[in-house]
Amino acid sequence: MIPNLEDLKVKIFADGADLGSMKLMYKEPHIKGLTTNPTLMRKAGIENYQEFALEVLSQMTEKPISLEVFCDDLDEMIIQGTKISSWGENVFVKIPITNTLGISTVPVIESLCNSGIKVNVTAVMTSEQVSAVSEVLNSEIPSYVSVFAGRIADTGRDPLPIIERSIFLLSGLDKAEVIWASPRELLNIFQADQVGCHVITATNDILNKIPLIGRDLEEYSLDTVKMFYKDALGSGYSI
């Protein structure tokens, strides 16, 4: 069966920190939300976190946007998370599953959720972490749990069982959704859909491949041959 973007139930969130690209992605009907993180922001040359975030939120008000805390102290995470949440109704506060010392942030997540703040728990890689988070999420407040499937796969492990287990663990929380985070290829979008994952994030590198969905493989093969031939001629190689 030829894959079709229109048949997907999984929601696609654009992951990035370039304001121009974020604006373009926000306008796309198949993009249902946006996420960013300090690493992407640094790579994009963002110097003022709050200024950038407020600029994004002033122009993107209808779709969920996840913004991450950037401190290591748990009490400070609560303070930052509360402030970030106040910037917009569509804000989800990204909280890493631990701090840099490996100390669980579940108390932070519980505190924020009890205050009615929407969270996106990030850098999750084990079912045990998801289980711990599921115990403190507020069933009345929308939330995300970002399972870093791509990074799990980088270790030689199949992420699908962990994704499936995560979906099960959150199944009793109607407003909690699992995000397939850090995908490595366009195929991951369809894999996420097949296992019933609620959301998948994707950077522009992956989103730019969407026009390839369903492309005739014979035609694609010929274009690839033409590319190799053109590059060989352009190089001036000789034997």
How far apart CA 72 and CA 93 sit, in angstroms, is 15
Task: Tell the CATH topology of 7-212.
Answer: TIM Barrel (3.20.20)
- Tens place of pLDDT for every residue, the chain, 239 residues? 667 788 899 999 999 999 999 999 999 999 999 999 999 999 999 999 999 999 999 999 999 999 999 999 999 999 999 999 999 999 999 999 999 999 999 999 999 999 999 999 999 999 999 999 999 999 999 999 999 999 999 999 999 999 999 999 999 999 999 999 999 999 999 999 999 999 999 999 999 999 999 999 999 999 999 999 999 999 999 89
How far apart CA 45 and CA 150 sit, in angstroms, is 25
